[in-house]
Structure 1
């Protein structure tokens, strides 16, 4: 239960702080407080860094169902633990979105639009208005790269003391590219929480942010297991 609670807290932190940065501080219309794309990217990445060192020794700090499923495919976690992790992650994300809604609803101009609370999406009316194909490819490829970094930095070839930093920096880079396309998910739980409360287009499009990251994560697990896991490191 300690592992599951750690995953719940870690996912709560990622969604509340990351999405909170996007919807509270990220919009430039608020004047000088707008942190923009760069600030939002750092909010998500730095939360992962902090949580990696805070809960990593307890649960491994997956805080992402795509990571948990990839670890299951790679044989690094048992099925019962994987199920427990995913349930905890989804609960944490939903609780975070609920708290964020309560905070946001206190603003005089708050409205629950189609993609409220930092929801992911694509198409007409969402950020860069990219199409479904672009959104799916972006999410799958970014998750694939993200998981390869995770597999290597947490392997016997990696530097365990620097793994959290490398993983967090990778997530920052991913957000810098993917925010205009999908708002950046690479994490089904991160998409699930806001979409459940926002409803509308966010909920209708949730399937992509579940499927694409899982596809990318599984491909990364198979690539790691089949090619890199037993490779001799360069000297």
Structure 2
């Protein structure tokens, strides 16, 4: 039904930006989206705590895994990298899980995690030198909370604002441009 919200199960989101994009595309209710985001953040905090507990020396030497904009780059560079990287990830999630696409390409077996994982890999290759690759606000938050030193918080806003803008752009692009293309079945 057009315009009706539908809760879809796209597997483990793990990432508030993905959840936000799915919410904007009306594939998740507000209640479920908020619940997922809170749980994603709590999981990231617990995960960062476990890493610190098991690898204290390495953890401290690597800045607790906290995301920061690398020297030689501006905050704008970091924000842009996070926006573009998250756009690629969230758009790939939409494309890989789109029911319209599945119906059209039913003759080609596809596992959604494969293109999503490949997108994450490519985004990491491109953005690690700039921001350490955030694209997941929960992961960035977990590392910042457990490490809790000034540099972990200096650019932290970038790792929320960038991914949420990238997710919103991916949701708009998918809903307005891609979903608007007429679907033609082969008879």
**TM-score relative to the length of structure 2:** 0.84
**Partner residue of 1:122?**
69
Q: Which residue of 2 aligns with 1:210?
A: 160
Q: State the alpha-carbon separation in 2 of the partners of residues 71 and 59 from structure 1.
A: 9
CA–CA distance in 2 between the matches of 1:163 and 1:122? 31
Q: CA deviation at 1:123?
A: 4.1
Instruction: Measure, in 1, the Cα distance between the counterparts of 2:118 and 2:183.
Output: 22
Matched, 1:182 2:131: yes
CA distance in 2, matches of 1:68, 1:177: 23
Any gaps of 5 or more consecutive residues in structure 2?
A: 1-7
> What value does the CA root-mean-square deviation take over the aligned residues?
2.1
- Contact 2:136 2:163 (C-alpha < 8 Å) held by counterparts: yes
SS at match of 1:102: helix
> Of the two structures, which has the highest relative contact order with CA contacts closer than 8 Å and spacing of 6 or more?
2
**Does the 8 Å contact 1:151/1:224 carry over to 2?**
yes
The superposition leaves residues 107-158 of structure 1 with CA deviations (integer Å, 9 ceiling, x where unpaired) of 4xx5736x6222111143xxxx321111000100111121111111100204
Q: Distance in 2 between matches of 1:195 and 1:205?
A: 10
1:27-67 CA distances to partner (integer Å, 9 max, x unpaired)? xxxxxxxxxxxxxxxxxxxxxxxxxxxxxx96621110001
Indicate yes or no: 2:35 matched with 1:87. Answer: no
Aligned to 2:25: 74
Does the CA-based 8 Å contact 1:135-1:181 persist in structure 2? yes
Matched, 1:136 2:83: no
**Structure 1 218/195 Cα, relative in aligned 2: closer, same or farther at 3 Å?**
same
In 1: Cα distance, 2:27 partner to 2:59 partner: 43
Instruction: Report if the CA contact (8 A) 1:153-1:163 is conserved.
Output: yes
Alignment check: 8 A CA contact 1:123 1:132 kept: no
Unmatched 5+ stretches in structure 1: 1-56
Whole-angstrom distance in 2 between the partners of 1:151 and 1:232: 17
- Distance change (3 Å), C-alpha of 1:111 and 1:219: closer
Runs of 4+ in 1 over 2 A off after TM superposition: 57-60, 110-113, 158-161, 232-235
Q: Distance in 2 between matches of 1:75 and 1:59?
A: 13
Equivalent in the alignment of 1:64: 15
Alignment partner of 1:164 out of 113, 116, 121: 113
Aligned-partner Cα distance in 2 for 1:77–1:185: 23
Q: How many pairs align?
A: 171
- State how far apart, in whole Å, the 1-side matches of 2:46 and 2:177 are: 39
